[in-house]
Structure 1
Amino acid sequence: MLSARNLFQEILDEDESFRLFCSIAASGESQGGWENGRIAALVPESQRALAPKITRHGADEDKHGRIFHALLKKRGLQPVEVPHETDYTMLLEKHGIGLAHERLGRREPLSEHDIITYLAHSRVTEQRASEQMKLLRKHFADHPDLGRAVRMISNDEDNHLAYCHEELIRLALVGHGRTIQRVLRECALAEIRVYRDVSLAVMDHMGRILGWPRVKAAALTAGIHGIYAYERLLGWRRMVSLEPPERRDALGGPAAQAAESD
């Protein structure tokens, strides 16, 4: 039976597919950690109160990268080079979404519009991350090797999403509402295209590693295209709505520590 649980279990059980999965995840998280660290250092004076929260966000992302590397180490595996076509973070940047690495590499302070761009980009991508981790938590929260990591990362992603909602609402209330909605829509429509392309690329690599028959590969490809069609028509709207989160000041305290080597 072709299900999310069975698919991920198959990837988990084979060393080379697990190695690629963790390498892709660790790379994306590490890039997110670097980006947030640079943004925290360049926050404009008008938004300095955000700096500790952005720093916390980056620390969480770095922690997640270490967790995925630790999962590899526990199985005696080394990370592999991430194929370009599976690099979600860099492909988003290539499509003009978020703040470019070239901009973050300079020492010039960011503008308020840059902060809106960062938060809108994060609100969209953290929606995706939160949903993906909820799916993994549903099926693998009690897994002896993955369970603790899945629960911790899922909780962090929910915190990140709550933080983005809260800060974007705050900025909307002081006059940035139209800009926020425009940037959110642009980010969401670009993200669903990139997510489709990355999903197709990852499934292609996994299919070759695991020797999937053509029928199975075709079914997965059709499913990815079906998800994209739904998101292009209606699903993107969940990524642009703003609601007061149940978790208030979700990044206001110290980051939870992980025993990554467990």
Structure 2
Amino acid sequence: MLSAKSLFQEILDSDEAFRLFCSIAAGGEAQGGWENGRIAALVPAGLRALGPKIARHGADENKHGRIFNALLKQRGLMPAQVPPETDYTLLLERRGIGLAHERLSREVPLCDRDVIVYLAHSRVTEQRASEQMRQLLRIFGDHPALGRAVRMISRDEDDHLAYCHEELLRLAAAGHGRTIQTVLRECALAEIRVYRDVSLAVMRHMGTLLHWSRPKAALLAAGIHAAYAYERLGGWRRMVSLRQPARRDALGTPPVPEAEYA
């Protein structure tokens, strides 16, 4: 039976597929760590209180990158080169979503709108990350080799999403509500297209490594297109709603004291 669990198990059982999966994940997390670090350094004076939370966000992303690399090391694998068509972060930037690397590389403070763009971009992408990690948590939460790593990352992604909700609501109350909703909508509609394209590219590479039959590859591609159709018709709205999270100040408290997986 073709299911998410069976697909992830195939990837886990293949050194080359697992190597590609972890390399793609590690690269994206490291890129997110760099971006958050630069934003924390450039946050405008009026929003200076956000700086430590943004820095914490970046530190978590860097930690996740190290975790994925540690999973590779456990199996004696070296990171693979990430195909550009599977680089989710790069493709989002090319669509003008989030803050451009060229902007973050300059030593010029950000403005309030830049911070709104950052938080809106994060709210959308952290929704995706939280959902993906919860899926992996259901499948591998009790796995002897992967369970601890999955639980740690999933908890962090939920905290990142809670932080984005809370800070965007704070900015909306300060009079930025219309701008926030406009930017959130733009981000969400671009993200679902990029996610579809990246998913198709990853599946093509996995299909080659795992020697999938044409019918199986076609069925998986059809599923990705169907998921995109659902998101385009209205599923994207879950990425733009804002509500006070159950866990408040998720990135303003010290990290849970736990030895890092890596």
Q: What is the TM-score when the length of structure 1 is the normalising length?
A: 0.99
Question: Shift of the alpha carbon at 1:117?
Answer: 0.1
Match in the other structure for 2:65: 65
Match in the other structure for 2:84: 84
Match in the other structure for 1:232: 232
Q: Are the equivalent residues in 2 in contact too, given 1:12–1:18 (CA < 8 A)?
A: yes
> 1:123-162 alignment to 2 at 5 Å?
123-162=123-162
With over 3 angstroms needed to count, the CA separation of the structure-2 counterparts of 1:82 and 1:168, relative to structure 1, is same
Structure-2 separation of matches of 1:13 and 1:46? 50
Match in the other structure for 2:261: 260
Q: Which runs of 5+ in 1 are unaligned?
A: none
Structure-2 separation of matches of 1:98 and 1:66? 24
Q: What is the TM-score when the length of structure 2 is the normalising length?
A: 0.99
Structure-1 separation of matches of 2:246 and 2:216? 40
With over 3 angstroms needed to count, the CA separation of the structure-2 counterparts of 1:202 and 1:108, relative to structure 1, is same
Question: Shift of the alpha carbon at 1:197?
Answer: 0.1
Q: Secondary structure at the match of 1:144?
A: coil
Match in the other structure for 2:214: 214
> 1:3-22 alignment to 2 at 5 Å?
3-22=3-22
Question: Shift of the alpha carbon at 1:254?
Answer: 2.6
CA deviation digits over 1:106-146, x for unaligned, max 9? Answer: 00000000000000000000000000000000111000110
Task: Give the partner amino acid of 1:259.
Answer: E
Structure-2 separation of matches of 1:246 and 1:14? 39
Structure-2 separation of matches of 1:172 and 1:186? 17
Q: What is the percentage of aligned positions where both structures have the same residue?
A: 76
Structure-2 separation of matches of 1:58 and 1:193? 25
Q: Are the equivalent residues in 2 in contact too, given 1:63–1:258 (CA < 8 A)?
A: no
Match in the other structure for 1:45: 45
Match in the other structure for 1:56: 56
Match in the other structure for 1:26: 26
CA deviation digits over 1:166-185, x for unaligned, max 9? Answer: 00000000100000000000
With over 3 angstroms needed to count, the CA separation of the structure-2 counterparts of 1:227 and 1:66, relative to structure 1, is same
Question: Shift of the alpha carbon at 1:18?
Answer: 0.0
Question: Shift of the alpha carbon at 1:253?
Answer: 1.9
Structure-2 separation of matches of 1:258 and 1:132? 24
Task: Give the partner amino acid of 1:121.
Answer: H
Structure-2 separation of matches of 1:160 and 1:190? 20
Question: Shift of the alpha carbon at 1:53?
Answer: 0.2
Question: Shift of the alpha carbon at 1:258?
Answer: 4.3
Task: Give the partner amino acid of 2:162.
Answer: A
Structure-1 separation of matches of 2:260 and 2:153? 13
Q: Are the equivalent residues in 1 in contact too, given 2:148–2:261 (CA < 8 A)?
A: no
Structure-2 separation of matches of 1:203 and 1:254? 38
Structure-1 separation of matches of 2:18 and 2:137? 17
Match in the other structure for 1:173: 173
Q: Are the equivalent residues in 2 in contact too, given 1:60–1:255 (CA < 8 A)?
A: no
Let me know the Cα RMSD of the aligned residues: 0.7
With over 3 angstroms needed to count, the CA separation of the structure-2 counterparts of 1:258 and 1:126, relative to structure 1, is farther
Structure-1 separation of matches of 2:160 and 2:251? 7
Q: Which runs of 5+ in 2 are unaligned?
A: none
